Structure 1
Amino acid sequence: MRKLPALLITAGLLTVGLTACAPSAGPGCESPVPSGESSSIVKVSGDEGTAPTVSFPTPLKTDHTERTVVRAGEGLGTVPGQQVVLDWSVYNGTSGDLIEKSTYDGSSALSLPLTEGTLMAGLQQGLLCSTEGSRITLVVPPKEAFGEAGNPNLGVAPDDSIVFVVDVNRAFLPKANGTPQAAVDGLPSVVLDANGVPGVTIPSAAAPTDLEVAVLKKGDGATVKEGDQLIVHYTGVLWDTKTVFDSSWSRGAPAQLTAAAGSPTVQNGVITGFADALIGQQVGSQIIAVIPPDLAYGEQGNGSVPPNATLVFVVDILGIV
C-alpha cells in the first residue's frame, strides 16, 4: 500500500471546506454529499477487485461535490478520521483525461485517514459514510478540489472539475469496539468521550517499576503478533506530571506502527514496553500500559519526554495491515 500522492494533498488545495455536518456511523448513516446528475452520469463497469471501465460526457461540471454509489458494500459507514484503503481512477472532468490510476492488484492501493485538512475537501467529504467493499463516483468542482490555481503539474486548469471512481477496499475500526473489562486497582483510570477519545487520571501513588498492562476493552479480532503492522489510536501521558505528551487523537488520524521494538532494521518500530504491551492483544481491544523508563526512553528521554520518565499509554488496536 502507499500513501496519497503528494500532488493531490498539497496544502494549497486544502483550504476550502464543505459545510455539511459529519455523519454518524450508525445504520442511518447519510453521506454529507448528495448524488446528482453529474455523478450519476459517470458510467462505470467492471468486477470487484479489477480496474473499472469509466466513461462520461465532457466537459462534466458541477457546482458542488456529487457522489453516486455504484456498488454498495457492507458494514457501517466511514466517519471522519477513520483509516481506509482505496483503489481509484482519477480523471479531468473537462477533458476526460486520466490523471491517476491504481494498479488494482494491491501494490498501489492508498492507505489514508479521512481527515479534514489532509485531503481535498470534496474527496474527504465524499468518502464519508462509505462502506467497505463499495465503489463510488465523485465529481468535485474546482472550489472543493484544487481551487483557483488549478494544478498545472497534473494538467488541471482552474475551471476543471475532478472525477473520482473509488473502491473502498478496507475500512479499519474508527475506535476500539471490544467488551468493557473490569478496572485494575492501582492503574490509572480512563474515561472516554463520545468519540472514544480517552481522558486519563493518574493515581497519586508512586509509579510501578515493572511493565503493567491491562485490557480495558476486550476485542475479538485477530491476535497481534510480533512484527505486525498495526493501525492504532493512542494517548501518551507522563506519570509524574500527569500531562499528555503525545496523542494520535489530537492529530485527528490513527497511526501506523510495527509491533516490535524499534531498531535500524525495524521500520516504524516502537519502544520496547509499547511493543510488549501490544503483542498478544486482539484487534478491537483497548489497552492501558504503564511503561517504566528502562522499557521506554531511559535516562536520555526523548523530545517532550524527560529523562527517567514513566509513561502511560491508552491504545485502541484498530486493525492489522
Structure 2
Amino acid sequence: MRKSVALIVAAGLLATLAGCSSSGSSASGCTPQLSAGDASNTIAAAGAFGTAPTVTVNTPLHTADSQSTTLITGTGPRVETGDYLLGEYTFVDGATGAVVQKSAYNGSDSAGFVVGKLDTLPGLDSAVVCATQGSRLAVAMAPIQSTTSATPSTDSIVAVFDITTVFPSRADGAVQPAQAGFPSVALGPDGRPGITIPSGSLPTSQQVAVLKKGSGQTVAEGDHVVFKYTAVVWADKSVAKTTWDDGVPAAATASSSAPLATNIVPALVGQTVGSQYIAVVPPSAGYGDTASTTPVIPANSTLVYVVDVLGILPAAAAQ
C-alpha cells in the first residue's frame, strides 16, 4: 500500500516548536523505548503538523545513544509494537545540518512501516513506541542506528517524524458467539488466525459470520479499507494468501459488486472497524473455474477468509 521508510532509506537518500517535552514518561500500560536527552532536546522543527518542517540542529550533533523528544503531543491512538504506522518525515545529517531526505508531505504518499520491523532505522523504530497518533517526534539517532548511503557511517541522523495514522496489529472488537457450520478459528498470541475446516459437504452459497464486533466506523461502498486476512482453500486446507507473515496489512476499496480477484477479500462493506469476520466463498462467488497463481488458488475452489478490519484511510491518503 505505501512505501516503507526502510525501503526508501535503503534506496540511498535516506508545528512550531512546542518546547522540549520529554517522551520518556511512561503512558499507561506502555513503556517507551527511548527517552529525551541533551541531543534530542536541541532539535527544533518549525511548521504545522503534517507539513514539511524547517529543522534546526546545533551542529555537529552526535549522540552515542538514540534519544527522542516529543515536540507535538497527539491525542490519537497509542503506537504499540506490531502496529502499522503512516507518517511524514524529514531526515537531517547531524554533522552538517543538511536535509538528506524527506517525504512528500502531500497527504497521499506517507511512509509506512510495521513497528518493531524497521531494521534500517532501529532508532526511529524505537522512538515511535508509546507515542500517539498526531504526535511530532524529534529523534537523534546514534550512528549505528541511522546509517544510510547518503551519510557517513560515523554521523548521527536527526529525524523529525509526524505520526499521521496508526493501524492496530489486530482486530480488537468484542468476541461474538460461534455460529454452527463455519470453520473454527483459533488465534495465536499475535492475533494470527488458525483455521480448521469442518467435515461435511461444501457450502454452495457465500456465508459470513462476525467473530469479533468492532465499535468503529462502518465500512461503506467506496471506502479505502486497511485490513489483515488469511485465505484458505477448503479442499486441501492450504493457505492461499496471508498478510500475517510480514505484518503489513492490505488495503482495498470496499465494493459489494467488484469481482473477488479485484476486491482482494469479500464482504468488507457493512463491517465495522475493529471487527474480525469469517467468509466462506464458493466458486460461484469467488474465482469460479479460473485458477489463480497469486494467490495460489486452484480452479473451482471454495475459499475461507478470516479478515481483521483495522481502519479506513482518509480520502487524501487513499489516492
Q: What is the CA–CA distance in structure 1 between the aligned matches of 2:133 and 2:173, rounded to whole Å?
A: 20
Q: What is the distance in 2 between the residues matched to 1:295 and 1:118?
A: 40
User: Alpha carbon RMSD of aligned pairs, Å?
Assistant: 2.7
Q: Does 1:179 align with 2:174?
A: yes
Q: Structure 1 or 2: larger helix share?
A: 1
Deviation at 1:115, TM superposition (A): 5.0
With 179-188 and 98-107 compared, the bigger mean Cα shift is at 98-107
Residues in 2 aligned to 1:247 and 1:317: alpha-carbon distance in whole angstroms:
14
Aligned to 2:287: 297
What does residue 308 of structure 1 align with?
300
Residue type of the alignment partner of 1:269: T
Unaligned 5+ segments in structure 1 are 14-24
- 1:16 corresponds to: none
Aligned equivalent of 2:309: 317
The equivalent of 1:200 in structure 2 is 195
In the aligned structure 2, how far is the partner of 1:100 from the partner of 1:209? 54
- The reply on whether 1:243 has 2:260 as its aligned counterpart is no
Deviates more, 1:307-316 or 1:98-107: 98-107
| Offset of residue 54 of structure 1 | 2.2
Number of corresponding residues:
297
Residues 1-321 of structure 1 mapped to structure 2, 5 A cutoff? 3-4=3-4, 6-10=7-11, 27-102=28-103, 104-116=105-117, 119-146=120-147, 150-151=148-149, 154=150, 156-260=151-255, 269-271=262-264, 274-275=265-266, 277-303=267-293, 304-321=296-313
Instruction: Output the CA distance in 1 between the equivalents of 2:153 and 2:127.
Output: 21
Q: Does the 8 Å contact 1:188/1:201 carry over to 2?
A: yes
For residue 123 of structure 1, give the secondary structure of its aligned residue in structure 2.
Answer: helix
CA contact (8 A) 1:286 1:316 kept: yes
Q: 2:116 and 2:227 mapped to 1: Cα distance?
A: 15
User: Identity across aligned pairs (percent)?
Assistant: 39
What is the TM-score when the length of structure 1 is the normalising length? 0.83
Structure 1 ranges of 4+ moved more than 6 A: none
| Partners of 1:85 and 1:168 within 8 A in 2 | yes
Deviation at 1:194, TM superposition (A): 2.8
- Indicate if the aligned counterparts of 2:27 and 2:130 stay in contact, CA closer than 8 A: no
